[in-house]
Structure 1
Amino acid sequence: MPRPDVDIAILGGGCAGLSVAVRLAAAGRSLRVIEPRETYCEDRTWSFWRTARDPFEDCVRTSWTTWDVTGPTGTVRRASRDLRYQTVGAGAFYDRAQALIDDTHGAELCSGTAAHDVHETPHGWRIDTDAGQLSAGHVIDTRPPRRVPGYGQFFLGREIRTERPVFDPGVVQLMQFRPARSAGVDFVYILPYARDLALVEVTSFAPRSPGRNVFEAWLQEEIDLLETGRHEVLREEHGALPMQVGFHDPSPDGCIRMGLGGGAARPSTGYAFTRIQRQADLVARALDQGHDVPAALDGPFSRFMDRVFLQVIQTVPDRGPALFESLFRNTASDRLERFLSGSIHPADRLSVMTSLPVLPFLRAALVPA
Structure 2
Amino acid sequence: MPRPDVDIAILGGGCAGLSVAVRLALAGRSLLVIEPRAQYVDDRAWSFWRTAPDPFEDCVRASWSRWEVGGPGGAVCRGSAHMRYQTVAAGAVYDRAQSLIADSPLAALSMGTSANDLHKSPDGWRIETDTGTLHANHVIDTRPPRRIPTYGQFFLGREIRTERPVFDPGSVQLMQFRPARSRGVDFVYILPFARDCALVEVTSFAPTSPGRAVFEDWLETEIAGLQPGRFEVLREETGALPMEVGFAEPPQPGVIRMGLGGGAARPSTGYAFTRIQSQADHVAEALRRGAMPRTLRDGLATRFMDRVFLQVLQTMPERGPALFEGLFRNAAPDRLERFLSGSTHPADRLSVMTSLPTLPFLRAALVPA
TM over 0.5: yes
Report Cα offsets for 1:1-20 as digits up to 9, x if no partner.
74211110000000000000
Kindly provide the amino acid, as one letter, of the partner of residue 358 in structure 2.
Answer: V
Output the CA distance in 2 between the equivalents of 1:307 and 1:124.
38
Output the CA distance in 2 between the equivalents of 1:249 and 1:111.
24
Output the CA distance in 2 between the equivalents of 1:86 and 1:254.
35
Superposition CA RMSD, Å = 0.7
| Structure 1 contact 118–126 (Cα < 8 Å) conserved | yes
| Structure 1 contact 33–110 (Cα < 8 Å) conserved | yes
Partner of residue 93, structure 2:
93
The secondary structure found in structure 2 opposite 1:321 is helix
Output the CA distance in 2 between the equivalents of 1:311 and 1:89.
33
Q: How do 1:231-270 and structure 2 match up within 5 A?
A: 231-270=231-270
Q: How do 1:200-239 and structure 2 match up within 5 A?
A: 200-239=200-239
Output the CA distance in 2 between the equivalents of 1:213 and 1:35.
30
Output the CA distance in 2 between the equivalents of 1:51 and 1:251.
29
Note the C-alpha offset of 1:134.
0.4
Q: How do 1:18-33 and structure 2 match up within 5 A?
A: 18-33=18-33
Partner of residue 271, structure 1:
271
| Structure 1 contact 151–242 (Cα < 8 Å) conserved | yes
Output the CA distance in 1 between the equivalents of 2:210 and 2:196.
29
The secondary structure found in structure 1 opposite 2:342 is coil
Output the CA distance in 1 between the equivalents of 2:31 and 2:159.
35
Output the CA distance in 2 between the equivalents of 1:17 and 1:292.
17
Q: How do 1:149-188 and structure 2 match up within 5 A?
A: 149-188=149-188
Output the CA distance in 2 between the equivalents of 1:296 and 1:17.
16
* 1:103 paired to 2:109: no
| Structure 1 contact 243–269 (Cα < 8 Å) conserved | yes
Partner of residue 70, structure 2:
70
| Structure 2 contact 156–202 (Cα < 8 Å) conserved | yes
Output the CA distance in 1 between the equivalents of 2:297 and 2:144.
18
The secondary structure found in structure 2 opposite 1:93 is helix
The secondary structure found in structure 1 opposite 2:188 is strand
Output the CA distance in 2 between the equivalents of 1:351 and 1:248.
28
| Structure 2 contact 50–84 (Cα < 8 Å) conserved | yes
Runs (4+) off by over 3 Å? none
Report Cα offsets for 1:328-347 as digits up to 9, x if no partner.
00000000000000111110
Instruction: Name stretches of at least 5 consecutive residues in structure 2 with no aligned partner.
Output: none
Partner of residue 56, structure 2:
56
Output the CA distance in 1 between the equivalents of 2:135 and 2:260.
25
The secondary structure found in structure 2 opposite 1:282 is helix
| Structure 1 contact 264–297 (Cα < 8 Å) conserved | no
* 1:334 paired to 2:331: no
Output the CA distance in 2 between the equivalents of 1:156 and 1:361.
30
* 1:84 paired to 2:84: yes
Output the CA distance in 1 between the equivalents of 2:295 and 2:34.
23
Output the CA distance in 1 between the equivalents of 2:137 and 2:13.
19
Report Cα offsets for 1:26-85 as digits up to 9, x if no partner.
111100000000100010000000000000000000000000000011000001000000
Output the CA distance in 2 between the equivalents of 1:251 and 1:296.
11
Partner of residue 3, structure 1:
3
Kindly provide the amino acid, as one letter, of the partner of residue 57 in structure 1.
Answer: E
Output the CA distance in 2 between the equivalents of 1:116 and 1:145.
14
Note the C-alpha offset of 1:296.
1.4
Output the CA distance in 1 between the equivalents of 2:4 and 2:147.
31
| Structure 2 contact 263–295 (Cα < 8 Å) conserved | no
Output the CA distance in 2 between the equivalents of 1:132 and 1:161.
45
Output the CA distance in 2 between the equivalents of 1:319 and 1:123.
55
Report Cα offsets for 1:92-147 as digits up to 9, x if no partner.
00000000000001100000101101111121111110110101111000000101
Report Cα offsets for 1:135-171 as digits up to 9, x if no partner.
1111000000101000000000000000000000000
Partner of residue 298, structure 1:
298
Partner of residue 14, structure 2:
14
| Structure 2 contact 6–137 (Cα < 8 Å) conserved | yes
Percent sequence identity over matched residues? 76
Kindly provide the amino acid, as one letter, of the partner of residue 126 in structure 2.
Answer: R
Output the CA distance in 2 between the equivalents of 1:303 and 1:27.
33
Output the CA distance in 1 between the equivalents of 2:292 and 2:147.
25
Q: How do 1:278-317 and structure 2 match up within 5 A?
A: 278-317=278-317
Kindly provide the amino acid, as one letter, of the partner of residue 317 in structure 1.
Answer: P
Note the C-alpha offset of 1:295.
4.3
Output the CA distance in 2 between the equivalents of 1:298 and 1:76.
29
